[in-house]
Amino acid sequence: MSSSPAYGPIAPHERIDTLDVLRGFALLGILLMNIEGLAGPLALTATGIDPHWQGADRIVDGLIYVLVQGKFYTLFSLLFGMGFAVMSARAEAAGRDFAGVYWRRGLVLLGIGLVHALLIWAGDILTSYALLCFLLLALRQVAPRWQALLGIGAYAAGLGMIVLSGLVFTMMRATPELSAELDKMLAAQQLEPMVQAQRLAYGQGGYWQAVLLRAQDSAMQWQGLTVFGPMLFGLFLLGSALVGSGAMSQPERHGRLFAGLRWIALPLGLAVVLLSCAVETYFDPGRFDLRQATAMALFSVGGAGMALGYLGWIVRLMQRPGGARGLRWLAPAGRMALSNYLMQSLVCTLIFYGYGAGQFERLPRAWQPLFVLGLFLLQVLISTAWLRAFRFGPVEWLWRSLTYLQWQPLRRRAHAGH
């Protein structure tokens, strides 16, 4: 056996509690964001505040758009980068090669993401994470400050491509011939045909009919990585920088940073999101122009600021005994974030899709947050009970075992004495 320190999955006592709480908080927000595309047509989730909602449904749709939409996938992406930095630091401390392990980790995640996207729900984010995560290896040794600057630059590059695309499309509209070509280009992205296809396949069709449409919807989503990929990668780098700088493990030494996130990034981000709403609140993928592009870019900038502000408040509350006690109930769900993310999709599609209970488009928008809260609380209870007996969530255990090419001890008693 090698005399170098063991390198494997992180032990429970080595975990950063704040990261688990943040993952649990992000998981709740992700479900609040995803529920519209699980209980109804996925295509309608990217349209902003949908005009077909009225009364209480419209109020809830607007609140989720302003406070939740785009903020929690941002937070989850930051956490993904943080996880990379934690793994990298532990590998370096153990004196072990990291690249090979991380390549396997990413490939296994890609497999899990493809299963999720094709067999369960087309709104998957894991595949995108897996396709982008390998780029982190190239910047592993870069100083945290430069990682942060590169992350901001990558995020800005994605925003720039959105605005530039809107400008080009608007200019094309000025010429009849180019406008006709643009109409042909956008014909495949007309909203109403996509919504009707999803109603037929997801709301009324059988399982394999849903699988076929999931493949098409997923392929369309992956095409968007040319624009949104740099933004996701930028968030990975920002998350890695937060861990590399020691801000997450020693937040008391970075009080000015987290105060800035709470009192500047959050309110400024909210103001920019509201400004984007003043520019445009409804986005039809079949009609794209500079106005829509500007609103989308402003929304993404504001959303990033709000996500960082949410992070700043969670970190601050975790520094206070009362706040930590009030938030630690989120940690079990966060420790099983991957299993719980997949469980959310599986449970919801079985409730709402035609091959399940057939409740597609029957849950009013105003009631969706209550449904989400009930499901999430159930996940917290299940996670708490599971982790009393096991070291990892079931999918986390499979992910780690395939990554390290060795079945990891799952039951807590099997790990006794280590």
Report, as an integer, the average pLDDT of 237-266: 96
Angle at 89 between CA 84 and CA 150, to 5 degrees: 55
8 Å CB contact between 85 and 102: no
Per-residue pLDDT band at 129 (split at 50, 70, 90): very high
Cα–Cα distance measured from residue 337 to residue 335, given in angstroms and rounded to the nearest whole number: 6
Question: Average pLDDT, whole number, for the chain?
Answer: 91
pLDDT at residue 6 greater than cutoff 90? no
User: For position 135, what pLDDT does the model report?
Assistant: 94
Of 7-21, 107-121, 245-259, minimum mean pLDDT range: 7-21
Of 13-17, 53-57, 81-85, minimum mean pLDDT range: 13-17
Q: pLDDT tens, 313-339?
A: 999 999 999 999 999 999 999 999 999
Question: What residues form DSSP beta bridges with 48?
Answer: 282
User: For position 188, what pLDDT does the model report?
Assistant: 65
Cα–Cα distance measured from residue 331 to residue 399, given in angstroms and rounded to the nearest whole number: 20
User: For position 184, what pLDDT does the model report?
Assistant: 73
Angle at 403 between CA 399 and CA 409, to 5 degrees: 65
Q: Which residue has the higher pLDDT, 168 or 15?
A: 168
SS3 257: helix
Of 12-26, 76-90, 374-388, minimum mean pLDDT range: 12-26
Retrieve residue 228's tokens: 């949104």
8 Å CB contact between 125 and 338: no
pLDDT at residue 55 greater than cutoff 80? yes
CA atoms within 13 A on the CB side of 148: 10
pLDDT at residue 13 greater than cutoff 80? no
Q: Which residue has the higher pLDDT, 169 or 107?
A: 107
User: For position 187, what pLDDT does the model report?
Assistant: 67
Give the highest mean pLDDT range of 82-91, 127-136, 278-287: 127-136
8 Å CB contact between 21 and 330: yes
Report, as an integer, the average pLDDT of 340-368: 98
pLDDT at residue 98 greater than cutoff 60? yes
Cα–Cα distance measured from residue 26 to residue 24, given in angstroms and rounded to the nearest whole number: 5
Burial of 225 (0-12, 13-18, 19+ CB in 10 A): middle
pLDDT at residue 5 greater than cutoff 70? no
User: For position 418, what pLDDT does the model report?
Assistant: 40
The helix (run of H) or strand (run of E) holding residue 400 is helix 394-404
Per-residue pLDDT band at 182 (split at 50, 70, 90): confident
Contacts of 265 (CB under 8 A, 6+ apart): 305, 306, 308, 309, 312
Q: pTM of the full predicted structure?
A: 0.92
Listing DSSP states for 16-76 in one string gives -HHHHHHHHHHHHHHHHHHHHHHHS-GGGGGSBS-TT--HHHHHHHHHHHHHTTTHHHHHH
Instruction: Produce one character per residue of 174-192: b if its CB has 16 or more CB atoms within 10 Å, e if not.
Output: eeeeeeeebeeeeeeeebe
Nearest CA to 333 out of 409, 399, 385, 255 is that of 385
Cα Rg of the chain, angstroms: 22
User: For position 180, what pLDDT does the model report?
Assistant: 75
Contacts of 3 (CB under 8 A, 6+ apart): none
Q: pLDDT tens, 20-45?
A: 999 999 999 999 999 999 999 999 99
pLDDT at residue 394 greater than cutoff 80? yes
- C-beta atoms surrounding 122 within 10 Å: 25
User: For position 3, what pLDDT does the model report?
Assistant: 36
Q: Which residue has the higher pLDDT, 313 or 8?
A: 313
